[in-house]
Structures are given as C-alpha cells and as structure tokens.
Chain A
Amino acid sequence: MKRISLRAVASVARKEFLHIVRDRRVLVLLLILPPLFTLIFGYAFETGEPTNVPALLINRDQTERTQRFVGLALKNKTFAWKIAPPETQNEGDLIGRHVQAALVIPAGWSETLSNGDPKPLPFYVDGSDTNTADALTGSLQRSLGEFQLGERQVMIDSLPEEVFELGKKLPVEVRKQFTSAMSQWEVKPEILYNPKSRFIDYVTPGIIGLILQLLTVTLMACTIARERESGTLYQLMVTSLRRSEIVLGKIVPYLAISALIILIILLLIAFHFEVKLISPLVLAVVCLLFLLCSLGLGLLISAISRTQTQAIQFSVFFLLPVFVLSGAFAPLEHLPAFIQGVAEIFPLTHFCRAFRLVNLYQAGPSFYGIDLVVMLLGAIITFVGAAVLLKRIEQ
C-alpha cells in the first residue's frame, strides 16, 4: 500500500521553506505587509460612522431661535460645517463647493415653527454611495429632534399661568393623554453582540481573511507553476516522491508562515485596536480550517496553471469576487439572495461568518459548525483536486 514517508515530506517542506527564505522580496512581503495592512485597515474601519463630513450651512433666517438650532447643529460631530452667506444661490451644487451635504434654513423658518405649519428644512445630500445619505440625514434629524425637545421646554416654561389653571380643570385622563402625546415616544435600543458598535470589532475577520486569502492563494498558486516553468517538476516526478508527499510538503511551510501571520495580526488587533478575542482556541480552529481551504485553492490554481503568470492571473480572477462578495466588510444579508448563494462557495464567507459567530455573538458550535464543515470539505476537495490534476500532467 502507498505509504507517505515523513522523511520525503520533510525534504519537500525544507526545500519549499528555503525557497521562501531565499526570495527576499516575498519574505519582506510576508513579514511587513500583513501587519502594515492590518494597521491601515484597522484605522480605516475603526469607526463605522461618518465623521467630519464637509457640509454647507446656509442660514437665511437670522433669528435667535434659528441660532439655537445652528448652535446644536455645529456641535454634531458628523458634520464639519462651512457657513455660507444667506444670499448663496444654487444650493444643490455640492461637488462644486467640495461638500457632501448642504443644509438650507429658509427665511421665516422659525416663524413656521410657531404658526402651526412647521416647514421641513431643505437638506441636499450626496447619495452617490448608498450609505452616506441615510447616515447624514439621520444624524441631522437627531440634532433637529434635540432642538425640538428644547424648544418644547421653552414653550412650556413660557406658557401663561391661565393655561395651567385651565389644564387643572380638565379630567385626569385627558391630562394624562395630553402629557403622553407631548413627550417623545422612542425605542430604547439594547445593542447586543457589539455593544460599543465599533466597526473594527465587526470587520476584524474581514481584515484577517482578506490579507491571508491574498497571500495564501497567490503564493501557493505559484509554487507548482514555478516548478513547471523551471522544469524542476519533471525532476521531482522522477524521484520516488509521491504526489501526496509533494502536495503535503508544499503545504506545510506555507501553513506555518500563514499561522504566524494570523498570530501577528490577531495580536495587533487585540492589543492595538483593543478588540476582545473570545475563546482563542475555537478561533484558532476557525483560522486553521480557513488557511487549509485557501492553501488548497492556491494549490488547485497552481495545478491548472502552466506558468506563474497564469497562476497569478487565475488568482486575481478568483480573488476579485471573493473580496467584493464574501461579506468581509459589509453584511452579506444586504445582498440579493442569488448573490448570497454565490458567496457561499467562497471560504472567506464562511470564515467571516464563523469568526463573528464565535467572537461577536459568542455562539455555540451548533451555529458555526456548518461553516467549519464547509471549510473542511473545501480543503479536502481542493487538495484531492490538486493531486488529481497533478496526476494528469504526468501523462
């Protein structure tokens, strides 16, 4: 029976490790880029909410009341307001003024707040990317709500004594109804799973997955293609090495290096960005399966590519949809069902989901078990596929 020789696997692994160490550029790529990317992505995604968005404020209603609202709006961290003179025309020209939003307070606005017909404030907002408009409008709406509450208090405080006298004559039920109607009705959000609502906590698996997917797939894809290009593959084939030994020997050093990279990234994320890591052992299993799956994919690409150039091209074509559709940076649930189905074939999708289930939801294995199984299956299928394809080139 075919037996795998540890000695043979070790000799391939040692050789492969030497290739990595000898190629200074790849080594630098492996050691410098992952932590650097982590820092860049980490800072980029540290807060999910937009802040300091340049916006234009045109106040044509120079009253004391309006000034109170402007004061509140200026405190809103979402916007970095530029005050424009009241006579400013053509308010909707956002790009021409290098802003993303423009708020217009029309003349007589404060008047309408008292005369029983409050007018809405015109708010021009950049809707080119689909998230910003909602976030900016919501934030401004909150400022306006705050303003309304304050104004209501002012109004109540300045009500003439007769009104209160009159009120006391009303039946208790009516008074209660009136009070309830006057107070703000609100939801009390109980934010679960990511109570501080920090985007970095959500996006951590995305950062890890993105970097590791890129490195493992492209590097692995080049290994066999490189041997084929340089003719050494035939030299390998005429030794007593079996295909499984070649495949295993090639996986081992990349697995070790990828694991080290993941460790570095996780340490950075945990200590620098203060993301709490729940049950590191389970996370390690999730990462390991993801790595095996990615390496298997790289190996598969490697086996179908004739040259390293081809291997890189195949990798890029594969990785592009993965980056966009895997839910690394945005929830998959926002995508149409069909696309979600497509996303299910990417290991990064399952990695991100499992990582979040463990680290954000603190869910049990019954929730993320299916993702682990899918990644394991992916690893097995790609490894076997690569070995079969390698067999084909023998003939």
Chain B
Amino acid sequence: MTSPVISLNALSKSYGRFDAVRDLTFDINPGTIFGFVGANGAGKTTTMRMLCGLTRPTRGSATIAGADVWRKRHIVRSKFGYVAQRFSLYRDLTVAENFRFFAGAHRMSPRQVEPRIKHVLSLIDLETKRDAPAGSLSGGMRQLLSLGCAIIHDPPLLFLDEPTSGLDPVHRQQIWDLLYNFSHRGVTIFVTTHYMDEAERCTEVGFLARGSLLAKATPRSLIHSFRVRLLELYIEPIMSALVELRNAPGVLGVSLRSGRLRIYSADPEGLLESWRSQWPFPDLHLKGERWVEPDMEDVFNAYSQGYDAMIGPTS
C-alpha cells in the first residue's frame, strides 16, 4: 500500500459565520486523476487554495507528501504545480520569458532551464509561439501555457482549477490528453471541473456541495450508486411539460436531454404506473417513454440537488 500524496484531515475554512469548507477528510493516492466536482460556490477553489498554501485553514489540516500544507508551505510548494482559474501569467512577457521566470522562481539551475523549456514547449505544442507575448495568445493557447508554466519544474503533483472552462472542444481534448500523459508518467492530478464528461475521465471523483464532501469514488461506482433506473419521457409541448412536471407530486426533478425529459424520482416505476392509469396533465401529450442508465450528469444533479432517496452508498 503506497502512502497518499494528499491527505486531508477535517480540513475546514470559515469566512466569518459562513463555512466555505467543512471537515473534509480524504486521501488521494499517487497517480490518481482526482476530479473535484461541485456547483459554483461549493468550496472547490477554497479547498484547492488551502491545499496550495494560499489560504490558511480555519480548522483541520492537510498534508502533501507528509508535509503540512500551511506550516511547511515553502517546502511543499516545490512539489506541485498550480493552474489558476483565471489566466494569471505575465501578458507582456513572451512565452519563453514566462517559462524562464517561473523556472528561476523555482530555483532551477540555469543549465537545466533551456532544455526543459524546449521540452515543455514541444509538449504543449507551442514551439512556434515561443517569442510571442503571452497576452497575444488565444484562450486555448493561454491555458496550455499556464499548464506549461505549472509543470516547468517537473512537479509530481498538479493542481488545476477549472482548466478547460471556456475552451473549445479541441483545446479541451488537448489539455486532457496532456493530463493523461502526465498521469501515465506518475504525476498525481487534482482537477476541479464543471463538465461531467470530464469528471467521467477522472480515475476518482469527489462531490462537494455546500462545503461538504458527499461522495468520493470512481466514476463507475458513483453511477452504480443510483438505486433506480431513470425514466425518459417524450412529451409535447416540451417546454410547458418541463415546468409542469417539475411541480408534479412524486417528481424530485426534471432535466432536458436531447429533446426528452429525464425524470428524477425515488420511485419512477410507481410514478409511471400512476400516470398511465390517470394522466394528470390535460394540456400535455405523452408521445413515448423509455428507461435509461444514469450517467455522471445525473450523479451530479442528484448530489448537488440533494435527491438522496435516489442514491445508495458507493462501493
């Protein structure tokens, strides 16, 4: 059994009376791609900033490779790279100058720096932009550059705060390919995301809601934690159906998927049975129905909306 790279022990952060993060306790093992998922304001960024030693925990503690992330933050910082949510590199400096600065800031010896910059440039496919000001790059290239700067000192751990938000699918794919590449070489990755298809690509997912960890498991076991199948209805007109069904008794929630309404309910079979015997919506026409398997988005909806009755324990 390997010892965990990151270990959280009742890690908490309060701003006044507001508990942004409450009693997070979990471990992340080496080589994991840990996807940290939660709604906006759930506490993902606060948690990440505590782990990076940027914010002091109110209570509890966390360690990276055994060293306390706050008290030993100067030592810990050489062991990870951090990609912030906002683009936060020097726009007036060129790509190579940004690299050189962060290499120097990490005390890399001058002999190592240039070969390393060359290697990272080829990794992120920005060789042609080497002497372009960072501010002139497109959003996708900026994000690749941020990632490049975060790994310039070849850290064994990488924090990424919503690295793909606002990117086109091609650059999203490119970023994820790089993350897989790093993971393959043993780098542990801690990434927050809003995208459920990205959460599905992680080896492990943690769900955060209102500062508390609701679940932490592999994507597969999270999906399997659903107790029930999901009912999808084809109803016309669909928009009024969305509104009316949401308020119907027995319905926890409704989401619109590819022209069909996916019903969240603790007992979908019973619900469908009762609707078949007595259709309660005179203005809506039921055109069809089918049963589907839940995916990560359903897991996210269930956890973030608190549809506890639908979910069982994760294996």
A residues at B contact (CB < 8 Å): 2, 5, 7-8, 10-12, 14-15, 18-19, 22-23, 230-232, 234-242, 394-395
> Could you pull out 23 A-B pairs where Cβ atoms are within 8 angstroms?
A5-B107, A7-B104, A7-B109, A7-B110, A8-B104, A8-B107, A10-B104, A11-B104, A12-B104, A19-B92, A230-B88, A231-B88, A232-B88, A232-B89, A232-B90, A234-B49, A234-B88, A235-B89, A236-B105, A238-B77, A239-B102, A240-B107, A241-B105
Contacts between chains A and B (CB distance < 8 A), count? 83
**Nearest residue, chain B, Cβ from A20:** B92
**Nearest residue, chain A, Cβ from B70:** A395
Q: How far is the CA of A226 from the CA of B149 in the complex (A)?
A: 20
Q: B91 at interface (Cβ–Cβ under 8 A)?
A: yes
Q: B290 at interface (Cβ–Cβ under 8 A)?
A: no
A-side interface mostly: helix
Chain B min CB distance to A240 (Å): 5
B residues at A contact (CB < 8 Å): 49, 52-56, 74, 77-78, 80, 82, 84, 86-93, 97, 100-107, 109-110, 133, 149
Beta-carbon contact of B55 and A235 below 8 Å: no
Beta-carbon contact of A240 and B78 below 8 Å: yes
Q: How far is the CA of A235 from the CA of B56 in the complex (A)?
A: 16
Most buried by A among B89, B101, B133: B101
Hey, which chain B residues are within 8 Å of A234, CB to CB?
49, 54, 82, 84, 88
Chain B min CB distance to A147 (Å): 69
Beta-carbon contact of B101 and A11 below 8 Å: yes
Q: How far is the CA of A231 from the CA of B102 in the complex (A)?
A: 15
Hey, which chain A residues are within 8 Å of B110, CB to CB?
7
Q: How far is the CA of A241 from the CA of B73 in the complex (A)?
A: 11
Beta-carbon contact of A15 and B89 below 8 Å: no
Taking A239-B77, A242-B74 as contacts, is the C-beta distance between A22 and B106 under 8 angstroms?
A: no
Q: How far is the CA of A140 from the CA of B105 in the complex (A)?
A: 69
Chain B min CB distance to A230 (Å): 6
Taking A394-B54, A395-B56 as contacts, is the C-beta distance between A239 and B105 under 8 angstroms?
A: yes
Taking A234-B88, A394-B54 as contacts, is the C-beta distance between A240 and B77 under 8 angstroms?
A: yes
Taking A237-B54, A240-B74, A394-B54 as contacts, is the C-beta distance between A18 and B92 under 8 angstroms?
A: yes
Beta-carbon contact of B92 and A22 below 8 Å: yes
Q: How far is the CA of A83 from the CA of B92 in the complex (A)?
A: 64
